[in-house]
Amino acid sequence: MKYTSTRGGMAAKPFTEILLGGLADDGGLAVPDHYPKLSPADLARMRGMNYRELAFEVISRFATDIPADDLKAIIARTYTAQAFGSDEITPVRTLEPGLHILGLSNGPTLAFKDVAMQLLGNLFEYALARDHAELNILGGTSGDTGSAAEYAMRGKRGIRVFMLSPLGKMSPFQTAQMYSLQDPNIFNIAVTAPFDACQDMVKAVSNDLTFKEKYQIGTVNSINWARVVAQAVYYFQTYFALTKSNDEQVSFAVPSGNFGNVCAGHIARQMGLPIRKMIVATNENDVLDEFFKTGVYRPRPETMHTSSPSMDITKASNFERFIYDLVGRDPKVLKGLWQQLEKDGSFDLSKTPYFARVQEFGLASGASNHANRIATIRRVHQQYGVVIDPHTADGMKAGLEHREAGIPLVCLETALPAKFEETILEALGQGPQRPAGYENIESLPQRFDTLPPDVAQLKAYIAARIPA
């Protein structure tokens, strides 16, 4: 399996090269030259596999330059009951017949990104040790990506993490999780601007190829292909858990700001998993919902600060991979659209044949606001005795709008409600239960530096902390 860029300007590379590289050399995103197709016999064989076996079955088709025994060992080391609370890794909880929540928040940072990030930490360490190299990870986070990356990479040999986050825009729990880390290879940078500015700074540094090469800059954001592929595994596990034969279909409601978790389901569907619908759920920053309803992709000039902060994103970076598939994997068309985006601030596919193809990919969408998520949290608690976090509530709201009789609907959990105490308190009149060990996390000493949204200052900061 080789990888090229959505924009057509990168020579074909194997998995481990794009694993460490993040953004493609031409500013695009790495994509596989094809999607491996699973036959009915493949799916029948995978049914009944445990999580580790499924992970190898899916990931090995994309990571073809890692020897099978090495990959199996990395997966076995990653997906343990000790790390994720159960041998299922991502257990499915049934609310009522045909309505389910996929538990993705049992890892070390209590959020879905742990599922991929723990694997990435081990993959990075493996590839760096093999090549006697070092890696300096630069990322931006609206909450959960940062802590998942830092907890996955802390103490890893040959790795430093520089993580940008919007100052004062994350929940107190999320902030404490990240900023309380004291590991010498972890650098938290609070940017005096919204998340999108953090993402822009990451891209600007990644686009400076001289700086990137000199300081060995990589990324773990959802633009990292390996992260997205790792997330595809739990779609398979869930499908097999809820069906008896491969003739059945399942729909998924996916809370998303950056399209990464949706893209993972899209990959699974392209491989042949019988997914009926992927329902994209947004919050008030509804750029994705607008596209799927109108064909217009229009990042907002300002990001709204909401009560589902991990989705406070208005430039869905990973969306580029879906558009690439939507336009027939034609890099010229894709590049033209992104040039138009840079020039005009939007592009419109509504009057093109491409937009009509959205349904072929099974995509639908819905949006939620603060009142909706409060009502949904309250309803789920009253009906099922289950407390869900604000992002999962957004997913549940959008999912129920598209629910079909006879088709199981699975809402993907984003994080544990303990991370969003204020909103849960408003919805239920009582705060969420905190897992053991997290009772007083906000009182821990915090270590971080503050920077303006200035790329030159960020580069200087990074350079000063990497030994010559």
What pLDDT shows up at residue 144? 73
Q: Which of 29-33, 219-223, 419-423, 437-441 has the lowest mean pLDDT?
A: 219-223
Distances (CA, A) of 203 to 12, 198, 314, 455: 21, 9, 15, 10
What pLDDT shows up at residue 131? 87
Q: What is the per-residue pLDDT across 167-203, written as a single tens digit (0 to 9) for each?
A: 998 888 889 999 999 999 999 999 999 888 998 999 8
Average pLDDT in the 23-30 region?
Answer: 87
Q: Is 396 a member of any domain?
A: yes
**d(Cα 73, Cα 69) in Å, to the nearest integer?**
6
Q: What is the per-residue pLDDT across 62-98, written as a single tens digit (0 to 9) for each?
A: 999 999 999 999 999 999 999 999 999 999 999 999 9
414-425 burial by CB neighbour count: b if 16+ within 10 A, else e? bbbbbbbbebbe
Task: With CA atoms as reference, report the closest residue to 379 among 400, 404, 364, 365.
Answer: 400
Is pLDDT above 80 for 397? yes
Is pLDDT above 80 for 399? yes
| 273 confidence band (pLDDT: 50, 70, 90) | very high
Q: Is 402 a member of any domain?
A: yes
Residue 397 annotated among the catalytic residues of the structure: no
What pLDDT shows up at residue 218? 82
Number of domains the chain is built from: 1
Q: In terms of pLDDT, which residue wins out, 429 or 438?
A: 429
**d(Cα 91, Cα 101) in Å, to the nearest integer?**
9
Is pLDDT above 80 for 208? yes
Average pLDDT in the 297-318 region?
Answer: 90
Q: Is 13 a member of any domain?
A: no
Q: Is 237 a member of any domain?
A: yes
Q: Is 375 a member of any domain?
A: yes
Q: Is 12 a member of any domain?
A: no
Q: What is the per-residue pLDDT across 89-122, written as a single tens digit (0 to 9) for each?
A: 999 999 999 999 999 999 988 989 899 999 999 9
Burial class (CB in 10 A: 0-12, 13-18, 19+), 354: middle
Average pLDDT in the 295-302 region?
Answer: 93
Average pLDDT in the 404-409 region?
Answer: 98
Q: Is 273 a member of any domain?
A: yes
**d(Cα 170, Cα 204) in Å, to the nearest integer?**
23
Average pLDDT in the 310-322 region?
Answer: 91
Task: With CA atoms as reference, report the closest residue to 292 among 236, 363, 222.
Answer: 363
Is pLDDT above 80 for 142? no
- Which one of 37, 72, 113, 169 is the catalytic residue? 113
Q: Is 257 a member of any domain?
A: yes
Q: Which of 208-222, 245-259, 396-410, 414-428 has the lowest mean pLDDT?
A: 208-222
- Angle made by CA atoms 281, 286, 290, in degrees to the nearest 5: 95
Q: Is 94 helix (H, G, I), strand (E, B) or coil?
A: strand
Average pLDDT in the 380-389 region?
Answer: 98
- This prediction's pTM: 0.91
Mean pLDDT of the chain: 94
Q: Is 53 helix (H, G, I), strand (E, B) or coil?
A: helix
Q: Which of 13-27, 171-185, 368-382 has the lowest mean pLDDT?
A: 13-27
Give the residue numbers spanning the domain of 401: 92-108+225-428
- Rounded to the nearest 5 percent, the helix, strand and coil shares of the chain are 45, 15, 40
| 24 confidence band (pLDDT: 50, 70, 90) | confident
Residues 6+ away with beta carbon under 8 Å from 460:
none
CATH of the domain at 104: 3.40.50.1100
What pLDDT shows up at residue 22? 66
Is pLDDT above 80 for 10? yes
What pLDDT shows up at residue 306? 94
